[in-house]
Structures are given as structure tokens and as C-alpha cells.
């Protein structure tokens, strides 16, 4: 149950963050806004690290495979694409398409066991759910 509630909170925070970042970009420009997002996130993480745990920073060098360390680079891309899509489509349409893309990519990762994840068998109910979500997008976008 905790994972379910945390996932809901994550989605809500992503939507609010996307709107905030889009608004900041109108004043500062894309890359200043993106840099602020990454820098402020680093500051929060650093403060939480200082007061909560102090795991070894050097352990990052032990991560294998090394491409797994590209999360921050991907994060900058996420910030850019969310700002662009929310500016072009509005928050609701952008969030809907973002979530559907996340579902599809996450399911493909599970199906093929990519990036060290455990391989899962094809589940027609999950495929049906994705198809239903795609139908929902069509209805939602219909104007």
C-alpha cells in the first residue's frame, strides 16, 4: 500500500513540477530553468545526505555497469521534454502522454529484462490495459 501511495504522490509532484518549470522557463529560458532544477535538487539531496545517513560518496565508483550513472543526464532530458510538452500541449494532455509513454517503456523493459530488471512473461491483461489507455488518450484529445 505504501508503494501505491508513493507512486500517486510521485505523479502529482511530477505534474506540479512540470507546471512550475514551464512557468520559470518563460522568464529565465530553457537552460537556466533546467540548470536551476538540477542544482536545487542537488542541494536538497546534499542536505538530506548530511542529516540522514551519510552513505559513502565513493561507492558511486563501484556502480556497474557504468552507464547506470547517466540518470542525471536523463533527468536533464526529462526536465527539458516536460517543459516543452507542457508549453505546447498544456499540463493535462502532456501529463497523459508522458504517463502512457512511461507505461509502455516500463512494460517493454520488464518484458525483455532490460537494464538488469527481471524478465517478465507477456501478460495479455497488461497489453489490454495499455491498449485501453491509448484509447483513453484518443478520447481525451478529441476536441
The pLDDT score that the predictor gives to residue 143 is 66
Express each pLDDT in 84-105 by its tens digit: 999 999 998 899 999 999 999 9
- Picking from 46, 69, 89, the residue at the C-terminal end of a domain is 89
Please indicate, yes or no, whether residues 103 and 82 belong to a single structural domain of this protein: no
Domain boundaries, position 126: 90-143
Per-residue pLDDT band at 141 (split at 50, 70, 90): confident
Distances (CA, A) of 119 to 54, 123, 132, 138: 33, 12, 23, 30
Same domain, 83 and 127: no
**Residue 95 CB partners (closer than 8 Å, separation 6+):** 11, 14, 15, 18, 86
Render pLDDT for 52-85 as a digit per residue (tens, 0 to 9). 978 999 999 999 999 999 999 999 999 999 999 9
Q: Give me the pLDDT at residue 66, please.
A: 96
Are 66 and 103 within one domain? Answer: no
pLDDT digits (tens, 9 = 90+) for 20-51: 999 999 999 999 999 999 999 999 999 999 99
Shared domain check, 101 and 71: no
Amino acid at each position: 500500500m505504501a508503494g501505491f501511495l508513493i507512486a500517486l504522490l510521485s505523479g502529482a509532484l511530477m505534474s506540479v513540477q512540470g507546471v512550475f518549470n514551464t512557468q520559470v522557463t518563460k522568464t529565465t529560458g530553457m537552460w537556466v530553468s533546467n540548470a536551476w532544477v538540477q542544482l536545487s535538487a542537488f542541494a536538497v539531496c546534499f542536505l538530506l545526505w548530511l542529516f540522514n545517513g551519510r552513505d559513502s560518496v565513493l561507492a558511486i565508483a563501484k556502480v556497474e555497469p557504468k552507464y547506470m550513472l547517466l540518470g542525471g543526464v536523463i533527468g536533464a532530458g526529462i526536465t527539458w521534454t516536460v517543459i516543452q510538452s507542457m508549453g505546447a500541449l498544456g499540463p493535462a494532455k502532456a501529463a497523459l502522454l508522458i504517463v502512457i509513454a512511461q507505461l509502455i517503456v516500463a512494460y517493454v523493459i520488464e518484458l525483455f529484462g532490460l537494464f538488469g530488471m527481471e524478465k517478465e512473461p507477456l501478460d495479455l491483461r497488461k497489453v489490454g490495459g495499455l491498449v485501453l489507455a491509448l484509447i483513453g488518450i484518443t478520447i481525451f484529445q478529441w476536441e
